[in-house]
Amino acid sequence: MKHKQRRLFDRLKKKFQLTIFNESTLESLFSLRVSWLDGILLFLSIFVILFFLSFFLIRYTPVGAFMPPYMDVSVRNRLVEHAYKVDSLTGVVNKQTAYIDVVKGIISGDISTDSLDEEGHQIPIDTLANHHLSLMKATKREESFRKEYEEQEKFNLSTLNGNSNTNVLLFYPPVKGEVVGLFDPRVRQFGVDVKVSDRQAVLSVLAGTVIYAGYDPDFRYVIQVQHAGDYVSVYKYTTELLKKPGDLVKAGEALAMVGKVSGSTEQPHLYFELWQRGIAQNPVELVLF
């Protein structure tokens, strides 16, 4: 066996002379002594060089982008990341489009935020609350609270049982400030405008339960509280909400903050409404500002 291997190795090492002649003159142009082993080594060297050259082109040049099975992992990750970003941006655009449609509806009059119907009758406060809620998507907790509240309303005329005699109710002023806009239902002014300092807490006029707290395109942050005696107080143009629907509050407890809005030259103020059984009341007659 060893003898045969020796003979094979000797044959591979056996030298041959490779000569190139000029056909016309038979002059030797090139001569080279080679063996089968030299040819095999030359072939392997060319193969290795071509392999590494192909690997370099696929791995480090744009040529690899045309060969999906060898796509760079980082490129694939960037493609997935960009796909997620496009999907997220699509969702944002859809939300902004819906918001713009609501604003257009308010401007054109298709969506009314007035407190009077077309015949001039008072719209109940719960209808107004439901309308405000329709301008923004309610959370699951708000939906659960609203359903529970509506079930209770089927059997009760008021949310809180209490004495409806206004003489026994002491209304706290919601803010400290100057009343600059008076109550006048004839021009659909169902509350009063109170000019306030740069930043101030908005207080609940009576003890009660928060029935709505959210953002309105026209009145910024709005919060509504149900009180004893079928009273509902409404606080508009606040800059920060401190309570959420379902929270129980005491008389004089902070509900929100009001103050100057960054980038706005408008004087900070609070628009305060007080309703009883769906009828707007004059806050100046009940609250000492």
- Per-residue pLDDT 10s for the chain (289 aa) are 666 677 777 777 778 777 888 877 778 777 777 788 888 888 899 999 999 998 888 777 776 666 655 555 666 777 778 887 888 888 888 888 888 887 777 777 666 555 445 444 445 545 544 554 444 555 676 677 777 766 665 544 444 444 444 456 788 899 888 888 888 888 888 899 988 887 888 999 999 999 999 988 888 899 999 998 889 999 998 988 999 999 999 998 999 988 887 766 678 888 999 999 988 999 988 888 7
> Do 88 and 139 share a domain, yes or no?
no
> Do 90 and 137 share a domain, yes or no?
no
Amino acid of residue 165: N
Q: Write down the pLDDT at residue 61.
A: 76
Q: Is there a contact between 64 and 56 (Cβ–Cβ < 8 Å)?
A: no
> Do 215 and 259 share a domain, yes or no?
yes
At which residue do the structure tokens 């008072």 appear? 122
> Do 212 and 281 share a domain, yes or no?
yes
> Do 141 and 271 share a domain, yes or no?
yes
> Do 98 and 166 share a domain, yes or no?
no
Torsions phi, psi for 75 (to 5 deg)? -65, -45
Flag whether 100 is in a domain.
yes
Q: Write down the pLDDT at residue 71.
A: 55
Is residue 76 exposed (0-12), middle (13-18) or buried (19+ Cβ within 10 Å)?
exposed
* Number of Cα atoms under 13 Å in the Cβ half of residue 7: 4
Number of domains composing the chain: 3
Q: Range of 50's domain? A: 2-69
Flag whether 123 is in a domain.
no
- Under DSSP, the state recorded for 263 is T
Residue 96 CB: number of other CB atoms within 10 A?
A: 10
Torsions phi, psi for 180 (to 5 deg)? -110, -15
Q: Write down the pLDDT at residue 37.
A: 81
Q: Write down the pLDDT at residue 116.
A: 43
The 3-state DSSP class for residue 190 equals: coil
Packing angle, helices 125-134 and 140-153, rounded to 10: 160
Flag whether 7 is in a domain.
yes
Torsions phi, psi for 16 (to 5 deg)? -125, 150
Flag whether 86 is in a domain.
yes
